Every structure is written in structure tokens, then in C-alpha cells.
Amino acid sequence: MSERLEDIAVAMVADGKGILAADESSGTIKKRFDAIKVESTADSRRDYREMLFRSDEAMSKYISGVILYDETLRQKAVDGTPLADLIKAAGSIPGIKVDAGAKDLTNFPGESITEGLDGLRERLAEYYGLGARFAKWRGVIAIAEGVPTWGAVKQNAQALARYAALCQEAGIVPIVEPEVLMDGAPADHSIDRCAEVTQWVLKTVFDELYDARVSLEGMILKPNMIIDGKNARKAGVEEVAEKTVRVLKATVPSAVPGIAFLSGGQSDEEATAHLSAMNANYDLPWKLTFSYGRALQAAALQAWSGKTENVAAGQRAFTHRARMNSLAAIGTWKTDLEKAA
């Protein structure tokens, strides 16, 4: 495969393929394992992810890349094969989450800044050596009374731009993820408020990317969909699709090869339905696909429940969700396909 940034970015959003976000931090994966009563150890985390990466049909047909956590990129499968090599063998691309998480932003109550720029150049060189060809950095923007502020939006956009420039210098495609949260407090904002904030955030992010001389052809955007607050959900599928497309058309340059949505608090089926509606009903200058974590994995995790004898069931559940989202990425998903399964 070509090592040009533009070619890697195009491969990441190939027709009917999307990105598996398997980059849960140790804390997050522990919560997910707690829910299925499995102890979170280095081995149990490896076993779980190996199950996903060895799901041949899902990985070869529907998944273009996998975002890994630092630990996972360094882990080997039970038979000694590096997990990154399993991903490559399936024709998928290994990637790496490089941010150090969102921390409270000094002087900005209720807002956060993502840390992890210190030493990033050196870490990216190491990750490249371990096989990663794309990376991810998430900036988190909350909606509340008087929030977000310009200061928080600007600082998060600058951090995303600096990260993206460092990635490209290292031969790594940056996934730029500015997430406007649907939860938070009181999470009762309207879909129009989400649209207004997301448009402002994306415009600011692209201004900063331009100023940092980031090549737009060699990056992927990972935004939230335009959706009402978690405690005010009433917008239907068509409204979410229409408003999301409108905001993207107003802010995202056509030079960007693709947009891979996060699922952010949506149910598995909602995330699939919204994506499919956008691809079915709108003519767009970029590929629209998925970069889901929970919405691809929840059913598989439940089916597996930490038991060796359930690996095949876990893989079937993962493959089903991957196939549904693959259909959504080309705009041909239908609700009845879920029932058939």
C-alpha cells in the first residue's frame, strides 16, 4: 500500500468501509468489562480485541482501519503475532489514539482542554515504527448556559491543528475529532443549538488547520452528528441527517477526503440510520462513513462476555454491526435488515 498521506486517507474512507474505534483507555474498557462482569487485565483486554481483529469477514470487507490504544498497539496475540499485524493481514490499517485526555481548562469553569502535545513528535515517530499510519486526537466541547466560550473553542482548535501538523510531519494521517457533546449538564439543548455550536467549532478548527499549514487532503474529520441534547431527544432521522449535512457543507472544505462520524451517545441502530440517511439523500463532496466504538462493539462485547466458547458469537455480533454500518456508508441500510439478523 502507498505511504502517501493522501492515499492512506482515501483508503480509510474506501466505499462501504469505516473505522473501528478500539482505543478505549484502561479506565473506559474497565467500565465496559465491569458491565459484563469480566475482570479487566492485560490478557482479557488482549483476548477481547484479538476476537474483533480475527473476525475475518468484518475486518476484510467492512473495516478500513482500527484506532488502537498505546497498550494494544504493543500487544501480541496469543500465538505471538503483534495485534497490529493481524489488522494489516486483514487489509485494514492500524492507527493510534495519541491524546492524553481532556482536563479542566484553567479559568474556564465547565470546559476542558485536551492534553498530550508535549513529547508528541517523539511518540509519533515510535508509533510509526510500530506500524501506525493514522492517529486520533479528540477535543471535547460542552454545551451549557454560557458554554462553550470562544477561549475554550479556540484553544481546543489550536491543539487539534498542532497535533495534525505533527502527525503529517511523521507520515501519519491525523483524524481530527472536535466533539460537541450531546450529554453534559443539563444536556437539554435543542438540535438547533447543537448545529450553531458545531458550525462555530468546525469553522474555527479549519481556520486553525489552515494557519498550521495542514494538508487537508491528508486528514480525516471525525465530528459529532447534529443531534439534540441527551435529555431532549426528539429529532427524527431525516432532521438529523439534513441538519448535519447543512453544517458540514457550510464548514468542511471539499479537499478533505472523508468524514468519519463518532457515534457519541446514540444507540447502535440510530448511529447506523442517521449515516445511511445522509448518504442516501444527499450529493456530497466527501465520503461520509463511520468511526464508531461502542456502536460497533456493544453487541459483540455482550455476546462474548469473557468466555472462550463465546468467541464465535461475539464475532458474529461484531460482523453484523460492521455490515449494517457498511451499508449505511453507501446509503442502502434498511431497518428490516436488523430484524432479519
Tell me the catalytic residues: 177, 222
Length of the chain: 341
CA-to-CA distance for 176 and 136, rounded, in angstroms? 6
In 91-240, where do the E strands start and end?
Answer: 93-97, 102-104, 112-114, 134-141, 173-180, 220-221
C-alpha cell belonging to residue 206: 479549519
Contact 288, 261 (CB under 8 A): yes
CA atoms of 159 and 172, how far apart (whole Å): 17
Q: Yes or no: say if 241 and 33 are a contact pair by the CB < 8 Å rule.
A: no
Phi, psi of 55 (to 5 degrees): -80, 90
- Count the neighbouring beta carbons within 10 Å of the beta carbon of residue 106: 8
**318 CB-near residues (< 8 Å, 6+ apart):** 51, 52, 55, 58, 296, 297, 299, 300
C-alpha cell at 35: 458491565
Please check whether residue 5 is in contact with residue 215, taking contact to mean a CB–CB distance below 8 angstroms. yes
C-alpha cell at 184: 453534559
